[in-house]
Amino acid sequence: MLNWAKPFNIFCLLDNQQYNFDAPAFESLLAVGSKANIEVNTGTAFAQLKEFSNKHQGWLFGYLGYDLKNETEKLSSANFDGIRFSDLHFFVPEIVLQLKEDQLTIFCDADAAIIFNAIQSCSIQISSSVKNPPVIQNRIAQENYLTTIKKIQQQILRGDCYELNFCQEFYAENASIDPIAVYHQLTELSPNPFTALYKLNDKYCLCASPERYLKKTGDAVISQPIKGTSKRDLTNKLQDENSKTSLLNSNKERSENVMVVDLVRNDLSKICEEGTVKVDELFGIYSFPQVHQMISTVSGRLQKDLHWVDAIKATFPMGSMTGAPKKRVMELIEEHEQTKRGLFSGSIGYINPDGDFDFNVVIRSLLYNSTTQYLSFQTGGAITFYSDAAQEYEESLLKAEAIKTVLR
């Protein structure tokens, strides 16, 4: 399917990698080609998206960049941006392919049999992903990273904020990769339930995310923030179980998780009927190939006749990638980070013809501009007053390891 989609300027693949934590709507969903699309930067982006959505009923696929915060919270971003994704892009696909329970459904205006035969005739071979391994550099030196964490903790002590998600960029210049092949290797090494491969002309997002931002089914919405990470040890079952237990019992990780749960509850209360927001699961421990994660689930019942764009606008960006209080930490993030986040810690997702939607959190993701050959990925974690700066640095390296391994 991806080799068939390769020549198109725009496509979006969403894949749950056969995780079944809940009943999945599909195994994978591939939207190809564009009958109409909107690509805008912050300013009046949400209003334009709402108008676009009202005009084009049916399937919509797209992404939301982190810096839409500048529109919703009257903030600004002046940090370096090597990839240059626009802040928002949505498109009406020419063709949608849905795989579910060994059945392929093709949504299109053309002859589905012709499309199916064209896909079947494509090669299933994956090319060499990286001809010359790129030289990965850190935007922030370790010493500066540790100093920055201490500055953030002083701001927490002063009462500026309670928790701040601080990220650093890893990057390479003159990088030549095949995005589809790298995506295959990344998801083979680190399969996660909210993976995505997004192509917008010469820009790519290769996303191996474990996290859901917001899902709507009927009038029900859920958000599943992640806060809390521990390393897996697949060579030693006892050690692996100990790591899992330590994560569950860690006061630091639990305090970070409950803080973001409170933030998400507050966000959902803006868009849900009064009294319907509840925490379905607190401190759930879920295991992935590289790490164990602490995930909580918050749900609610949407206000009647609320437009899906307004639901996104009121809750974006997600609290797990900002901190608390939300607006103040986003100001501090801009002050301390050295790279514009762009699509990183934004969201990729879809709206189906019934008006239901599902959006992920763009983490564990590689961004690539094939024209400039600039390659970038960011990792980070929640900083509290009790965080250990050296451990936070090591955790950020752990989260980057799967991407670094593939690029080697």
> What pLDDT, on a 0 to 100 scale, did the predictor assign at position 378?
97
Q: List, for residues 134-144, the tens digit of each pLDDT value.
A: 999 999 999 99
d(CA 203, CA 180): 12
> What pLDDT, on a 0 to 100 scale, did the predictor assign at position 80?
96
- Rounded average pLDDT over 268-282: 98
Contacts of 403 (CB under 8 A, 6+ apart): 170, 186, 364, 366, 377
User: How remote is the C-alpha of 387 from its chain's centroid?
Assistant: 24
pLDDT, averaged across the chain: 95
C-beta of residue 13 within 8 angstroms of C-beta of residue 28: yes
d(CA 22, CA 191): 16
Quick check: 94 pLDDT over 80? yes
Q: List, for residues 390-400, the tens digit of each pLDDT value.
A: 999 998 998 89
Quick check: 103 pLDDT over 90? yes
> What pLDDT, on a 0 to 100 scale, did the predictor assign at position 408?
87
372 exposure class (CB count in 10 Å sphere: 0-12, 13-18, 19+): middle
DSSP 8-state class, residue 60 = E
> What pLDDT, on a 0 to 100 scale, did the predictor assign at position 364?
94
- Rounded average pLDDT over 304-330: 96
pTM score of the predicted model: 0.96
d(CA 405, CA 51): 43
d(CA 238, CA 14): 34
Which regions of 263-353 does DSSP assign to beta strands (E)?
Answer: 278-287, 291-301, 323-324, 347-351
Contacts of 406 (CB under 8 A, 6+ apart): 129, 130, 182, 185, 186, 189
Quick check: 132 pLDDT over 90? no
**Bond before 134 cis per omega within 30 degrees:** no
d(CA 217, CA 232): 33
Q: List, for residues 31-87, the tens digit of each pLDDT value.
A: 999 999 999 999 999 999 999 999 999 999 999 999 999 999 999 999 999 999 999
d(CA 236, CA 118): 46
Q: List, for residues 157-192, the tens digit of each pLDDT value.
A: 999 999 999 999 999 999 999 999 999 999 999 999
DSSP 8-state class, residue 27 = S
Contacts of 130 (CB under 8 A, 6+ apart): 176, 177, 178, 182, 406, 407, 408
Question: Could you tell me the domains of the chain?
Answer: 2-407 (3.60.120.10)
> What pLDDT, on a 0 to 100 scale, did the predictor assign at position 101?
86
- Rounded average pLDDT over 231-253: 94
User: How remote is the C-alpha of 70 from its chain's centroid?
Assistant: 19
Nearest 10 degrees: CA dihedral of 401, 406, 407, 408? 90
Quick check: 129 pLDDT over 70? no
Quick check: 128 pLDDT over 90? no
C-alpha neighbours within 13 Å on the C-beta side of residue 28: 16
Contacts of 208 (CB under 8 A, 6+ apart): 186, 187, 190, 191, 192, 195, 364, 365, 402
Q: Helix (H, G, I), strand (E, B), or coil: what is residue 206?
A: strand
**Bond before 325 cis per omega within 30 degrees:** yes
- Rounded average pLDDT over 383-389: 92
